[in-house]
A and B are shown apart, each in its own frame.
Chain A
Amino acid sequence: DTAVSQTPKYLVTQMGNDKSIKCEQNLGHDTMYWYKQDSKKFLKIMFSYNNKELIINETVPNRFSPKSPDKAHLNLHINSLELGDSAVYFCASSPTVGTEAFFGQGTRLTVV
C-alpha cells in the first residue's frame, strides 16, 4: 500500500497547455510538499501545506497553483506550460514541517 502516491508518473504535453498532478498520502501526516528536481538534479522546494494551509511558497511563477482539498491531498496545477517547466516533480509528506519527508515516486513532466 503506497504511502505517498502521485499521478501521473509521466506527462508529455505541448507548450501553452494546462495540466495537473495529483498527490495523496495515507500516512496521516500534517504537512505536504511539492519539490522540483531540475536538469542539474537539485531538489528544490516549491510549496508546503500544513493542515491544508499554505506555509511555504518559494519563488515560483504564479502559473503554478497548489490546491489542498484536505490534509491527505495536495495537487499541483500548472497553467500555460513552458519548455523550462520540464522536470521531475515530487510530492512528499512529513509528520511536521522540516522533519523527515516521505516522497512519492515522482512525475516526469516533458513540455514539447
Chain B
Amino acid sequence: DQQVKQNSPSLSVQEGRISILNCDYTNSMFDYFLWYKKYPAEGPTFLISISSIKDKNEDGRFTVFLNKSAKHLSLHIVPSQPGDSAVYFCAASVGDYKLSFGAGTTVTVRA
C-alpha cells in the first residue's frame, strides 16, 4: 500500500514560470517530509525538507508547503530553469523510521 502518492506522473512548464508539484499522504503519523530530484542514470539527490511543526520551508528557488489537515505537500520551483528537468520524488518518514517514497513526477522545462 502506497502511503505517499504523487498523482501527476508528468508536468510540463515554460522556462521562467512556476512549477508546482503535489504530493498526498495517508499516514497521519508522518512527521518529516522531503523532496528529491533525480536525473536519468543517477541516484536521487536531496532537495529540500520540512518537519511537521512547520507549514513552509524555503531554499532559494525551492519552497515546500505542508498542509497537515489535508495531508498534502507541495513543491514550488520559481523560476523554473532547463536544469530543473528531472524526476521529483516526494518522501516521508515517521520519527526515526524509514523513508516512504512516492512514484515521482517527471518535470520538463520548455525553453
Q: Which residues of A contact B32 (CB under 8 A)?
A: 98-99
- Select which of A58, A98, A100, A104 is within 8 A of B46 by beta carbon: A100
The number of inter-chain residue pairs (CB within 8 angstroms) is 55
Contact in complex: B98, A56 (CB < 8 Å):
yes
Residue of B nearest to A4 (CB): B43
Q: What mask results when residues 90 to 112 of chain A are scored 1 for a CB within 8 Å of chain B, else 0?
A: 10100011111111111000000
Task: Report yes or no: B43 in contact with A97, Cβ–Cβ below 8 A.
Answer: no
Binds A, one of B18-26, B53-61, B74-82, B87-95: B87-95
Question: In the complex, which residues 70-111 of chain B have their Cβ closer than 8 Å to any Cβ of chain A?
Answer: 87, 89, 91, 93-101, 103-104
| Closest chain B residue to A58, Cβ basis | B98
Contact of B49 among A100, A103, A104 (CB under 8 A): A100
> Across the interface, which residues of A come within 8 angstroms of B99, CB to CB?
45, 98, 101
A45 with B46, Cβ < 8 A, contacts A98-B32, A106-B41 known: no
Asked if B27 lies at the interface with its beta carbon under 8 angstroms from chain A, I say no
**Contacting residues, chain A, for B67 (C-beta < 8 A):** none
Encode contact with A along B28-48: 1 for CB under 8 Å, 0 otherwise.
000010101000011111100
A43 touches B89 (CB 8 A): yes
B94 surroundings in chain A (CB, below 8 A): 98
- C-alpha spacing A107/B51, complex, angstroms: 31
* Known contacts A98-B32, A99-B32, A105-B41; A42 and B46 CB within 8 A of each other: no
Q: Is the CB of B96 within 8 A of A44?
A: no
In the complex, what distance in Å separates the CA atom of A4 from the CA atom of B42? 11
Question: Contacts A4-B43, A106-B42 given; 17 further ones with Cβ under 8 A?
Answer: A42-B101, A43-B89, A43-B91, A45-B98, A48-B98, A56-B98, A92-B43, A96-B96, A97-B97, A98-B32, A98-B93, A98-B95, A98-B97, A100-B34, A103-B45, A105-B41, A106-B41
Nearest 7 Cβ contacts at the A-B interface: A103-B43, A98-B93, A43-B101, A100-B46, A97-B96, A98-B96, A45-B98
Would you give 29 A-B contacts (Cβ < 8 Å), ordered by A?
A4-B43, A41-B87, A41-B103, A42-B101, A43-B91, A43-B101, A48-B98, A56-B97, A56-B98, A58-B98, A90-B43, A97-B96, A97-B98, A98-B32, A98-B93, A98-B95, A98-B96, A98-B97, A98-B99, A99-B32, A100-B46, A101-B99, A102-B46, A103-B44, A103-B45, A104-B43, A105-B42, A105-B43, A106-B41
